[in-house]
Amino acid sequence: MSILVDKKGKLSLVENAVVENYGKRKCMWKLKGKTIYLYGRTKQKNRPIVKYDFPPPVDIKTFYGECLIVKTSGPLTIEEWESIYEELMGGFEDIHSESDKSEDEHTVLPLSKHGYELDGFVVNSDDE
C-alpha cells in the first residue's frame, strides 16, 4: 500500500501503484529504520497544483497533478504517514492541552499612585 496525495491535498490509500505514473522520485526520507519516497511532478504546469504541505526538503517545491508516497518495506498506512510527517515537520504542539499558565493570566503587581504596575519597566524620575 502507498499513499496518494490528490490535487486538494487529500490522502488516500492505493494498492499496487505504478510509481512511474506519478513522475520522478523527488525526495527520500529516512526515519527510524524506514525509508519513504515521494514521487511527483514539478514541471507539468498544465496540471492542477497539489495543495499539500510536504515536509522538508521539498516543502518549497510546487507539485502538479498527484503525488505518491511509498515506503520501501511493507505497506504504508495513513496513520503511519501522519506520525512520520509530524516527526519530519519537527512535531506539533497540542493547542488543546492546558498549560501551567495561560496567556491571559499574569502576576498581579502593586500599583503606583498613578495607577502603573511597579514592574521595574518604567523608572520613576525620583530614582534617576
- What is the DSSP code string of the chain? -EEEE-TT--EEEESS--GGGG-EEEEEEEETTEEEEEEEESS-TTSPBP---PPTTSTT---EEEEEEEESSS---HHHHHHHHHHHTT----TTSPPSS-TT------B-TTS-B-SSSSPPGGG-
Position 114 scores a pLDDT of 75
Low-confidence ranges of the chain (pLDDT < 50): none
